[in-house]
Amino acid sequence: MASVSIDEAMRRAIELAGRGLGSTSPNPVVGCVLLDAAGDVVGEGFHAYAGGPHAEIVALAQAGERARGGTAVVTLEPCNHTGRTGPCAQALVQAGVARVVIAVSDPNPVAAGGMETLRAAGVEVRTGVREAEAATGNIAWLTAVRRDRPYVIWKYAATLDGRSAAADGTSMWITSEAARIDVHALRGTVDAIMVGVGTVLADDPRLTARNLRDGSLAIRQPLRVVVDSAGRTPADARVRDGAARTWIATGAEVGTGPDGRVDLTRLLALLYQRGVRSVLLEGGPALAGAFLAAGLVDKVVGYVAPKLLGAGAPALADAGVRTITEIIDLTFTELTQVGPDLRFTAVPRQREG
């Protein structure tokens, strides 16, 4: 293969890492590109699934002896512990790699320390190459590990005037098939899909990731979570079928807050303990409002249809805002047209003080 720059190799490693999105939890997504001493690409790899070989191991297997004296370009600091697989830092040392270039240091105290191991063995270590880009691709895992709770994405669909259903309660379909296909792709990237019991009672959703063209299920299904303080989910609800794992999170099991409803902070902590690093919050407006009021939403993905209702249920209920100074301020990070609809992503701004 032709020689490439370190910057080009890291760009490729970040692209490779993205292939594992949705299948590696509780592990991060990681990509690795190995260059030989002349700067030619001799190995590539990414972490495909939890328990499987790490990105560095896959790349080293491809490179063989050509890795000796070369450079490993990796999106996350090589791990330094033995879990279901061995420590990647030691594997790089044993392969005779002369230099390791890292985008993001590992915030996990269990796995961190790879850089020290490498340097102690005489390996040159460089950090921070395309750090922001690599961190964005691994944002759910990085956020989860730093906060001991899953990264929460609130997804909603609404008309241009902010309605999620008509006055008579009907809501199928506000957005286009293209938008719905896009949502199913989004579901395939997360570890859990969450709704409130009100959504289950009103819509009886399946909450699976599937191909809308033929109805087939994706190979990997996220955990389905129903926030159900009083245990009202019907025995024959579709979320109880065998298509995916389901947790009906009741107040008796999780614990309740002062309002008598499921303690959302505790709920996220329990999900983290189960290996969930990312949650797609899909409904309904009351649950979304409660998460926003508690400051537990990390990203918003909205699908806005070029339609108007004028009346009906809003996409968001009480979010704890009592006056304009308490408004929840967002920063747009992406605006894309999906079929006739507009999809935006935004993140809450950090409040001052």
**27-39 per-position pLDDT tens digit:** 999 999 999 999 9
pLDDT band at 109; cut points 50, 70, 90: confident
- The architecture in CATH of the region 149-348 reads 3-Layer(aba) Sandwich (3.40)
Detail the residues annotated as belonging to a binding site for Zn(2+).
54, 79, 88
Identified catalytic residue from 56, 133, 253, 334:
56
Is residue 285 within 8 A of residue 314, CB to CB? The reply is: yes
Q: 75-90: per-residue pLDDT in tens?
A: 999 998 776 667 899 9
Residues that constitute the known binding site for NADP(+): 157, 173, 199, 229, 284-290
Q: Is 329 exposed, middle or buried (0-12, 13-18, 19+ CB in 10 A)?
A: exposed
For the chain, the domains span 6-143, 149-348
**pLDDT above 60: residue 1:** no
Q: What pLDDT, in 10s, does the model give residues 65-76? A: 999 999 999 999
Mean pLDDT of 303-327: 94
HEC profile of 17-62: HHHHCCCCCCCCCCEEEEECCCCEEEEEEECCCCCCCCHHHHHHHH
pLDDT in tens, 185-212: 999 999 999 999 999 998 899 999 888 7
CATH 3.40.50.12780, applies to 6-143: no
Phi, psi of 171 (to 5 degrees): -145, 0
Q: Using DSSP bridges, classify how beta strands 31-35 and 71-76 pair: parallel, antiparallel or unpaired.
A: antiparallel
Q: What is the pTM of this model?
A: 0.90
Positions at the binding site: 54, 79, 88, 157, 171, 173, 187, 199, 203, 207, 210, 229, 282, 284-290
Task: State the Cα–Cα distance between residues 239 and 61, nearest whole angstrom.
Answer: 42
Q: What is the mean pLDDT of the chain?
A: 92
65 is catalytic: no
